Structure formats: C-alpha cells, structure tokens
Amino acid sequence: MERRRFVFLSALGAAALATPGLHCTTPNAALDKTLSIPDMLSHLADEATIREAGVAYGSKMPGEYNVALLEKLLAGNAPNTGSDPSAGISSRLAANIKDGFMRGNTVVVKGWVLSVTEARQCALYTLIKKTN
C-alpha cells in the first residue's frame, strides 16, 4: 500500500554502502540509486506503486524507456566530481523536480501528478529492478 513507506529503499542503499563486499561495487551503483529513487515519492508510496508509475511512464514515453537514456536525461550535464559521480546529483534532481512543477513540466502516471524528472526516476527504478 502507499502508506507503507518506500523508505526501505534508502535503508537498503545505506546498508549496501555499509556492508563489506557490497560497498559500492561500482561508482554507477551509487549513481543509479540516486537517480532512480524519487525522494518525495519514496516517502509516500511503496515499491510496487513506484514501479507501476515507472511502467506507466514507459508506456507514455516508450522512446525514453531504456536505462542509458533515462540515466542521461536524469544526470544531464552533471559535472564530473571525481570518484563519486552521485555527489551533487541529489540536489540537482531536487531542483529539477521543483523547476518541473513550476514550469508545468509534469506528467500524470497512474494518477500521480509528478514532475517529469520524478516520473523518469520511477521508470529508471523499474528498469533497474527488472534487470537485477
């Protein structure tokens, strides 16, 4: 249900980072996590709901529905910050989300009124989970 928090994903991510052997197997793992977890939505909805939204976005925008493209769209022109490519991305995503709402760059997926950035995050999450 929506009320079951998706926060577990954040917890899972933190555990992975703290667990020897799982510690950021690649820099891209941390980046994917940052890119694919819509922060606000993860506090409001469960994993299945996020995936539903991701699939719905994929249906609306089939041309965008692949990992590489979504990563590129979400990461944009993020400056290379060295060993941790996710650094700075979170705040940029948050700014993009707010900007999307302000400019009306939103989309309705499974009833959710989301910024396009958030919807892309849902789609990326769905694809990443599917391949894992």
Partner 1 sequence: MHIDARELPNNSLIEGDICIIGAGAAGISIAIDWLNTGHKVILLEGGGFEVDETLQDLYRGKTTGQRYYPLKSARLHYFGGTTGHWGGYCATLDDIDFVKRDWVPLSGWPISRKDIDPYYPLAGKMVEIGPGEFEDTYWLEKDKSLLPLVFDTKVVWNKMWQFSPFTRFGDKYRDAIVNAKNVHLYTYANVTDIMANENASSITGVTVKNLQGKTHTVRAKYFVLACCAIQNARLLLASNKQAPNGLGNDHDIVGRHFMDHLEVNSANILLPAPLPLKFYLNDPFVTKARAELAITGEVQRQHGMLNGTVALSPLELVKNDPPMIDFFPDSATKTVQHWPYLEKMFKAGKLPASAGTPFKAYRCFTRMEQSPNPESRVTLDTEKDALGVPRANLHWKLTRLEKTSIRKLHILIGQQAGISGIGRLRMMDWLDDENDNNWPETLGGGWHHMGTTRMHDDPKQGVVDSNCKIHSINNLFAAGSSCFTTSGAANPTLTLIALTLRLSDHLKTLV
Q: Which residues bind partner 1 (CB under 8 A)?
A: 2-3, 40-41, 43-45, 97-98, 100-102, 104, 106, 108, 110-115
**C-alpha torsion angle, residues 35, 39, 43, 47 (rounded to 10):** -20
Given the complex with partner 1, which of 28 and 105 has the nearer CB atom? 105
Sign of CA dihedral 33, 38, 44, 48: negative
Minimum gap (Å) between residue 74 Cβ and partner 1: 17
CB of 11 to partner 1, least distance (A): 16
**Token pair for residue 28?**
């891209």
Minimum CB separation from partner 1 for residue 119, in Å? Answer: 11
Smallest gap from Cβ 77 to partner 1, in A, equals 23
Nearest by Cα to 49 from 119, 128, 131: 119
In the structure encoding, which two tokens stand for residue 40, read together?
A: 């606000």
Of 11 and 22, CB closest to partner 1: 11
Question: Toward partner 1, which CB reaches closer, 3 or 82?
Answer: 3
Taking each helix axis as running N to C, give the angle between helix 67-75 and helix 27-36, from 0 to 180 degrees, rounded to the nearest 10.
80
Q: 110 or 129: whose CB is closer to partner 1?
A: 110
